[in-house]
Amino acid sequence: MHPRIDTNQTTLSFFPAMYDKEKKMIKTSVTKKFILPQDIREREKLLEELILQWKKENEGSRIVSYISFIETVLQEVKYEPAMVSNEIIQIIYLRKKLSSRNVWPTTSLLNFLFWLSNWEDNTFAIPLNYMWTHLRSQSSCDDIEIEIREAFASYKIGRGRKPKEGSMKSRVDLVDAARLCILLNNPGRVIKTLSDFTHEDAEFVTEFINSKELSLLTYEKASPTTYSKQLCDLKFIFKRVHLKIKKVVENVFDNCEIKKIKSAARTKVFTKAEIANLCTVGRERYSKMLIEEKFEHELKNASIAVQYEGALRAGDIAEIAWEDFQNVEDNGDGIITIKIRHGKWREADESDAVPIIYSRLKPTLDLWKNISEKYCKKYGIEPPTYVENGQKYHPIFFDEKGKQLKATICTTLVQKQCELVGIKLQKGEGSHLLKHSRLTHLGAARMPRELLKVVSKHKKIEMLDIYCHEDLHAAIDWLKENDCQQNENTSSKKPTVEVKMLSVTKLCERWDQVRSQCLYRIGKLQEMGYLHPQKDKHGWGIVPTDEVEKFDEEFISLSDASFMVGGDDKNFSKNLRKILAAEKLQAIKVGNLWFPRRKEFNDWLINKNKGRRV
C-alpha cells in the first residue's frame, strides 16, 4: 500500500509556496526560456546541480536526508521527472525495503518536484495535477467530513427533495481540496475543523483559483465555468455551515468577490436529416450482426429516438419505463400522453404530462424490446426494476450488464453516436442537444410558444402546480395537424445509397482476403496514392469503385498470379518473388506484398510457356 501523508504533520511545512510570486525558488538572471538538454548524461548532471541547490535552500530540514531516494527515482525514470508515478515510487520502496509507514522519502520527493516545477517556468513539465491528485488521495480530515454531513443533514432541494449521496461527497471533496491548497501554500497552517478556516484563507483560495484558472479538484487548467462554480459552491457550503454549526461563527467567504461565470449558450441544433441518421445507425446490417452488436447499436438508436421525440432530458431517459407507455390510451390518432417522473425541480410524487407521436416511436421500441429480450435470455440477465409509490417499474433502457442507465451514460451514448455518423460536437455538448433540436424544429414549424412550453416542461417554481389540460390538448391537436405527417415522411425516407463506392466487406469478397488483410492493403495503397478511402454516413470505410477497378486492371496479386498458372507449381510464388526482387519484371511493393503489372506479367507468362528465357 502506498504511504499515507498526514497534511497536518510538520512535513507539510516544508512544501514550497506555489502561489507567492515574490518568492523565487531560484534567483537567476536568465530571461530567455531554458532549453533542456536532450542527452541523458547532461540532464543527469543538471538535476544533480538542482538537487544540491534545493538541499542548500532546505538546509537543516529532515527532507534533505532522503536525497539518495530522490536520485534513485530519477534514475529509474531516466532523468525525466515528469514520468514519476505512484508505480515508480512503489517499486523503489520495495527495492530499498522501506516500510509503507515511512512517509518521509515520498514527502521529500514531492517537495523536490514542487520546487523543481517553479524552476524556469516548469521547464521539466512536472505534472502538478499528478502530485495534487496523489496528495488529495493520501490526505483527509474526518472531522471536517463529519461537520459537513451534520450541516447538510436536513438540507432539501427543490420543494422538499433530499439531495443524493454523491452531492454530499462532492462537498466534502471540494472543502478537502481547498484545505490542502491552503496548507501547501501557507507553511505552518493547521486546519482540522471548519472553524479553523479564516477570511485570509478564503481570500487566498479565491485569488489563487481565479489567477491560475485551475480546478481545485484536479489542479489542471479549467474553464471559467468550472472553477467559478467551485468557488460558488465553497461560498454556499460555508454559508450553510455557519447557519447550522455554532462553533463556526462566520462565513469566511462572505467578503470574497465570487461570481458564477455561465457557459456560452448552446447554438448547435441537429437537422432533421441528422436526427434520422442518429436513430438508424447500423440497422441495414442487423441481419449479419451478432446479438451483442445489435444490442449496442439499438440501445443508442432507440434512446436517441425517444429523447428527441419527447424533448426529454438525459435524466428523463434514465427513468422512463415501459409502464409509462403501456398505461396510456391511444385514441387511434397515433398520439399519446406519457408521464415524465423525476423531472427537473419536481417533487418525488410529481410528474409532467408530455404528448408524443407514438405511432412513430412504436416500431423503434418494438425492435429494441425484441433485441433486448433476446440479449437478456442469452446471458441470463434480469432487466432492472424499481418500486415507486407501491408500483413496480421496468426501465426501458439498460446497459449490457442489466443495470439501469444513468444520465451521464445517456450523454455518452449520444456523443458516441455523433462520432460514428461524423457529427462534430464541441466540448460539453451531448444529449441535451436533442431537446434543443426538437423544440427548435417545432418552433420552426410555427408551434405557438404557449404550446411549446407544454412540450418542453420549462416552468418556473411557482408554476409547478399549474397543469393546464387545455393547453395539453391543444398541443396534441397541433401535433396531429402540423407535425405528424411531416415527420412520418422524414422518418420513412430511406437514406440515399452511395453509388460507385465499395465497402470493406465487398472488397474482402473481391480480393478474397480476410478483413485485417484487406484493411492492411487499403492502408498501404492509400499511402501510395492509389486509393482514397472515405467514410459513409454511418462512419464505415468505403473506397471509390473506379479506383479499385483501375488498380486491379493495372496490377495483379501473387495469389491471383498463382491461380492463373493453375497453382500446381509450389515454387512458383517463391521464384516469382526472386524475379520481382531482381527487377526483371515491372512491379510495385505494397507493404510486404508484391504486385506485378498485369500486362508485363501476361507477356512474361506467355514467353515462359513458350520455353523462352526472361
The per-residue pLDDT for 376 is 93
**How far apart, in whole angstroms, are the C-alpha atoms of residue 438 and residue 563?**
58
The per-residue pLDDT for 443 is 76
Is the pLDDT at 505 greater than 60? The verdict is: yes
Strands 386-388 and 391-393: antiparallel
The per-residue pLDDT for 83 is 85
414 falls in which pLDDT band (50, 70, 90)? very high
Q: Are 571 and 458 in contact (CB under 8 A)?
A: no
Tell me if residue 376 falls in helix, strand or coil. Answer: helix
| Radius of gyration for the alpha carbons in the chain, expressed in angstroms and rounded | 33
The per-residue pLDDT for 613 is 44
C-alpha distances in Å from residue 175, one per residue of 15, 216, 254, 374: 20, 9, 16, 48
> Averaged over 390-415, what is the pLDDT?
90
Tell me if residue 489 falls in helix, strand or coil. Answer: helix
The per-residue pLDDT for 343 is 64
Q: Where are the alpha helices (DSSP H) in 327-462?
A: 358-379, 407-421, 432-444, 449-456
The per-residue pLDDT for 27 is 38
Q: What is the pLDDT of residues 543-580, one digit of tens each?
A: 888 888 888 888 888 777 766 665 445 566 677 777 77
Q: What is the pLDDT of residues 202-227, one digit of tens each?
A: 998 999 888 888 888 877 778 888 88
Q: Are 302 and 367 in contact (CB under 8 A)?
A: yes
The per-residue pLDDT for 395 is 92
Q: Which domains does the chain have, with CATH numbers?
A: 10-127 (no CATH), 142-244 (no CATH), 272-492 (1.10.443.10), 501-609 (no CATH)
- Which of 242-251, 501-510, 601-610 has the lowest average pLDDT? 601-610
State the first-to-last Cα distance of the chain, in angstroms, to the nearest integer.
72
What lies within 8 Å, CB to CB, of 423 at 6+ separation is 270, 274, 278
**How far apart, in whole angstroms, are the C-alpha atoms of residue 208 and residue 274?**
44
The per-residue pLDDT for 279 is 93
Is the pLDDT at 91 greater than 50? The verdict is: yes
Is the pLDDT at 30 greater than 60? The verdict is: no
The per-residue pLDDT for 580 is 74
